[in-house]
Each structure stands twice: as structure tokens, then as C-alpha cells.
Amino acid sequence: MDVVSVVGPDAVKAVLADPGKNFSAKLAIDAFMKDFIGRAILARDFEDHRYHRRIMQSAFKSGPMKTYLDRMTPHIALGLRRCESEQFFLFHPFIKKLSLRLASGIFLGLEQGSDLDRINSALVVMMNGAISPIRLKIPGLAFNEGLVKRQLIADYISELIVERRKNPSMDMLSEFCNAKSEEGEQFSDSDIIDHMIFMWLAAHETTTSLLCHVMYRICQFPEWQSRLREECYGIGKPAIDYEDLPKLDLMDWVIKETLRLHPPAPITMRTSLRECEFYGFQIPANTLISIGPGISHFLEEYWSNPQQFDPLRFSPERAEDKSHTHAYVPFGGGAHTCIGMHFAAMQVKAVLYQMLLNHSWETPAGYDPKFKMTPIPKPKDDLPIKMTNFPRRSQFH
């Protein structure tokens, strides 16, 4: 099919901000992902989308965010205790498993037990199906297997909804069951199922990809690893609380710089609803538009030495990301801007904090990875890494 690729901040802004309501996220999603995404928030446009976003927003307010962070903390500590020290292991599968564990706990409130293992393995199969290139419903193919597991997960969430509506717990599902917009609007059961499943697809692989690239970069630049560790010592507790997040400025800039160089969602899609003119070009109706941060994040017009890893470009003195409203778009823009961007930053900070406090990390000497860009970016070799434990610092335990 024909696809129009729009590049550069002005073009990205025109499509994502979309003042003329010319571009549909729903039609683009329906073209590729309808079977997995259903009527989730990204598959809704304009007023219908705004209605769902207003309700969903309440699950990302500071109250629930604090409880999500409290819930993450022990799982991160446990995950790290299971890491072998003093020998190289593959970081990507390790962090993917940890992220899955965090997501099951925070999204559905699942703790240790048979449901957790059953649902986690179903989620892995579902995600592999969702990103599989061969999209045919033939038994045995990843796409079809993913759909079978999606149904299993949907049935499971449907049973949980009944329970969580009666006895809310400290998880996102309970938030969705009880979420109300300021106007009193609420989600139906089938909305909740689609939204929860999409949340998984949107959150899990992207956060894994980000953590993997941050670790690669702070091993490549050990001076940055030391600076971040010093910043963690400044907080001086075994794990961060919600109130500590704004104190981690350097970590924030490292995360932002990694998102600039390695955006975990390299492409977003829209479909034109009608013929429109775009910087002198005609885009026919019903055409797929591909929008990515890839070019905007590397234009010398907006970034100094764009190929260089330089977290200080995000400091208030330089604020290169503010050079154009759409020069920096790892979380998209406009109405569908990532609703989980603060959640992702919180999770990555919580993990990095515990990883750096009592351990140092290194990649093999002269490590120079090749990167895989699709479906979700990651180092091709899964990032071999070695952890060394520091002598215990009593004040942090």
C-alpha cells in the first residue's frame, strides 16, 4: 500500500496536533492491530477519544501513582537479588521478565501464584502475536496463537472486574473499575478489558527497550554512571518514594537523552480522512501516514552534535528539547500523547535507582552493539552485562 512518511518537527506537528481533524488514529490501528487492540483508547478519535481519556486520566494522578511505585519497590529488589554478580548475563531478557512481573503486579494486582505464571506466559504469547509480521489467523502461527491468548486474558480480566468492583485493590484495574471523569463518566466492562490489554502492549516492551538502552549508555559512559550513583547517594535510602522523583535531575536527563537517541516507539501511524494539502503536497483520502521521531531527534537545526550522547542538552540552561514544540517526540504529541509517560519515567527511575545504589555495571571491553529497530528497538545481542556488588552501605539497607 502507499504510505506517506512525514519527517521533521513542522510536519510531525501538523499531523499530530491536527487542528483540521484530518487524521485518524483509529483507522490506522484498525489496518494493522484491530484484533489485538479492539476499542482501546488509541483506536478512538476526537470526541470519543476525549471521553475515554478523561476517565483514564484519573488512574494516572499522583495518588494512584504513589501506590504503583510502592508496589514496584519490593519486586525490583527481589529481581536484583536474583541477578548473578561477577559474570556476564543478557540484560534484555532479564529486564523484560522484571518489567512483566512489575506490570502484572501493578496493572492487575497479581502476586505470586499459579494465576501469575499462567497470565504472564499468556501475555508473552499475546505480545509476540501482536508484533508478528505475518498477520494470518492460521493455527500454529504466532499471530493466531496471540489471539487465542488474548481471549484467555480477556476472560480472566472479565472475572477480575467483578471482584475489583466489589473490593478495590491497589492496582490499575481497580482504578479503571472505579475511575470517574469530573463529569461522572465511567468505563463499561468491555472498555476496561480493551484498555487494560492495550495498556500492556503500550507499556511493557517500550519500557523494557528504554531500560536496556539506558544501561547500554551508562556502561558506555561510566562517568555518567558514577554521576547518577552520586545523585542516588544524595537521596540515601534503599528505594525512592514518589516525592523523590523530582530530585533525580541527572537521571531524568539521561533517560531523556536515551529516548532521543533510541526512541522505543519509532513509528506512529495515522490515516488521512479526506484529501488534504500538506506543505504544497496533496495527500489523498484514506492514505496511511507514518510519523516518527527518528529524523526530528537528529536534526542539527534543533540539536547540537545530535549524534553525541549528551544528557546536559536537557538541562534548563540548554533546554534543546524546547527548540520546537515537536523537535522531541518520543511520547508522540497531540491528543494521543502517551498517557503513561510519567509512569514510564517513574518505573525506569525506580529500577535504575536500586540498580545503581549498591552495584556497578559494565559491558564487555570495546562493546559496540548493532541495534535492531523493529518491532521494538533493542541491541541485537540482548546486551551482555556484568554486575559487581559494592560492599554493603549500611545506611541504604
The residue ranges that bind ligand HEM (CB under 6 A) are 25, 41-42, 53, 199, 202-203, 206-207, 210, 264-265, 268, 330-332, 336, 338-340, 343-344
Grid cell in block for residue 156: 480472566
| Shortest CB 87 distance to ligand HEM, Å | 29
Q: Is 201 left (phi over 0), alpha (psi -120 to 50) or beta?
A: alpha
Give residue number: closest CB to ligand HEM.
340
Smallest separation, CB 395 to ligand HEM (Å): 31
Bridge partner list, 271 = 24, 288
Cβ nearer to ligand HEM, comparing 199 with 327: 199
* DSSP helix/strand/coil, 363: coil
* Residue 378 phi, psi (nearest 5): -165, 160
Pairwise CA distance, residues 172 & 167, whole Å: 13
| For ligand HEM, the closer CB: 264 or 379 | 264
Please state the closest distance from residue 202 (CB atom) to ligand HEM, in A. Answer: 4
- Which is nearer to ligand HEM, 150 or 336 (by Cβ)? 336
**Sheet of 384-389, strand order:** 88-90, 384-389, 359-362
Write the Ramachandran bin of 46: left for phi over 0, alpha for psi from -120 to 50, otherwise beta: left
φ and ψ of 21, to 5 deg? 50, 50
Euclidean distance between CA atoms 366 and 94, whole angstroms: 22
Distance CA 59, CA 248 (A): 24
Rounded to a whole number of angstroms, the minimum distance from the CB of residue 81 to ligand HEM is: 24
CB of 211 to ligand HEM, least distance (A): 9
- DSSP E strands, the chain: 3-6, 23-24, 88-90, 268-272, 276-278, 281-283, 288-291, 359-362, 371-372, 378-379, 384-389
Nearer to ligand HEM, 25 or 157 (CB): 25
Report in angstroms how near the CB of residue 252 gets to ligand HEM at its nearest. Answer: 13
> How far is Cα 61 from Cα 100, in angstroms, rounded to an integer?
22
Q: Nearer Cβ to ligand HEM, position 228 or 358?
A: 228
Q: Given the complex with ligand HEM, which of 25 and 245 has the nearer CB atom?
A: 25
Residue 85 C-beta: closest distance to ligand HEM, Å: 27
Q: Which is nearer to ligand HEM, 42 or 358 (CB)?
A: 42
